[in-house]
Structure 1
Amino acid sequence: MAAPVGVGLIGAGNISDQYLRNLTGFPDVRVLAVGDLLEDRARAQAAKYDVPRAGGVDVVLDDPDIDIVVNLTIPAVHVEVSEAILAAGKHVWTEKPIGIDRDESQRLLSKADAAGLRVGVAPDTVLGPGVQTAKRAIARGDIGRPLFAQTTFQWQGPELFHPNPGFLYAKGGGPLLDMGPYYVSALVHVFGPVAAVAALGLQGTPTRRVQVGELAGQEFAVEIPSTLSVLMDFEHGAQAQSLYSTDSPLYRHGIVEITGTEGTLVIPDPNTFGGPITITRPLTKMVVPPEPVVQDVFAVPQEGVLVGRGLGVLDMARAIRDDRPHVATGRFGYHVLDTLLSIEEAAETRTFVNVESTIDEVGALPADFDPHAATL
């Protein structure tokens, strides 16, 4: 068996805990270094998870034993950091989105192809047992021919918990670019590539206020629409409607309902890796109020091992050693970005916008994919 694949992290902020907690527990990878512009923060995270090396970004880029670098920086510098990783001769796993601009994101993928290196793009939540089980159920025909989906993400906003949330309301952020990748990725896994989109957007307030941490009370500008209502048309004929909002006092997260000719499939929050999956069958008789509506609802057993962030890095590591494609590819991540940017443009112009990019059939993880197994 080959040795575990060496992994490094650039970015030791909030999300790094979730990655480090999981990656340090997967036998097929070994986390060797954590780098950050704030070197003390990197050292603190490395010490917390028994990672042997930490410091500035070069600690990761210059390590000859690291094959994959996980890019956990803010969206505005995703491409810049990913290009530096490629220049160091290492594969990239980047947090979503792949970038905030089409041209720079395509440039990144071209550089990776020229160097013979891989790019993987979050979210890897769609690789978890929730979405993957649902995907297999649809492929089996459990709900007949898929017709349309409805998704909802609404609440008052990340300033409720994030100590420095300004970047989430800047270009490349907002409920669409921050949370949209989870929902759009799940829908593309189920329906395939997006052909066209339409949208309406609004901004609840021009400024927001930090509510927790050292910056509590500080105001910051809102640069993007904080509510968007979206229609999506998929290449293979399905449709979807989605709401993304950080202007709502009503908390409703993770609603994904996929309706087919023979049932409606409800899948877990795509910002999680698993949860209850159900299919509701059509009514068998007319119901007249006040008689209650009672429908047949069946649980779909979830298949696979439930873990968390880092699953996509592990799949990439195994794929490199097995010389096969990994699932959450850069091309997939680019199509999701292209779709999200097209939604922004549709909201600005109040017209349908064609999504120029496309992708081939989206890969899947097998039901017996075990993150805790030592296979390398």
Structure 2
Amino acid sequence: DLFASLEQEPFKIKGLDIYPIKPTTERISTAASKQAKLQAGWIMYPIADGSYEIKLPDIQYELNGVIRYSIPIPAFSVSVQALPAYVPPTLPVGKLTIEQRYADRLINTNTLGYWKLTLKGDGIPAQWLPAVLRQIKSNDDIRYSPVTSERSNTAGVNGMQSQVLHTVPLKALSNGTLDLPALRVQYFDPADGRLKTLAIEKQNNIYALSYFWRIIVLLILGGLLYKSLKWLKEFGHKKWLKRKLLMQAMHQIGQARTVCEIRPALNLIALAENWPDNLSISAWYCLWNSKYRAQEDLDSLVANLSLACYSNRDMKIDPEYRNHFLLCITKAMITRRS
């Protein structure tokens, strides 16, 4: 019945820790009918070897809040073998995992921070999980406060799952990196009959800074940020100004009507490149060629320009000459950028 459930009574047996499994109802629907799978029981964790006669309480079948049946369970015997002699009696038997996390990676000195350690057991009750807190001790850099521990057991049809959460308050006594201790825990794995060790290596990725040093660091970072932004602004302005001057020079060359009108454009290019003022055409071309590696046909164009500018005649420019000169200048700059 979908509305039925099972109930079981708690009981005790000396030498065994007994944990009731919370009753569950699993609905199973088929094409023909709707059914339910009811489960209940106990998990027994032996704490001493020997033979045990087990007499379980009756299972109660309850429907609509009324006990309809009492299901007896036959008595049975259990033989518990002792662990190997090399296994300490307090060592947990089962599977174990350990995890850690921090509330903050950066804490203030003389202010509480929190280190959380979680031990999880598979087949191990919480009270049998290993003690790790004795490995945590205060020193000149860290002071530990009393620990808060939360233990829980979950007994289910698939076995016992347990957990212990340790919240470790700590206070940094000095600035710098905090070295949290390495932790080691052992357990006996019955699946392969071996002692196993879990380790959390020494941690040094938590940092402590007093308010004074935080302010100093913020001031330094603020100064560096200001200088970086100022440099970026100046760099961007220089790039913008250089581009503007080069565009003006290209426009002036394209609009030149005489040969000598090209000369001011070369001065604009020199200004954009941060070259010296009042360069001769040959000196300008030497700097240009060293940076842009101009084509050979630009040599003759610059030579003709130099002759025209240093003569007393300002000849009208041949449009083909002007366009070819502009093309060589533009091509050289594009090649340099690529």
Range of TM-score over shorter length: under 0.3
- Give TM-score scaled by structure 2 length: 0.20
**Structure of higher RCO (CA pairs closer than 8 Å, 6+ residues apart):** 1
Report which of the two has the higher share of strand: 2
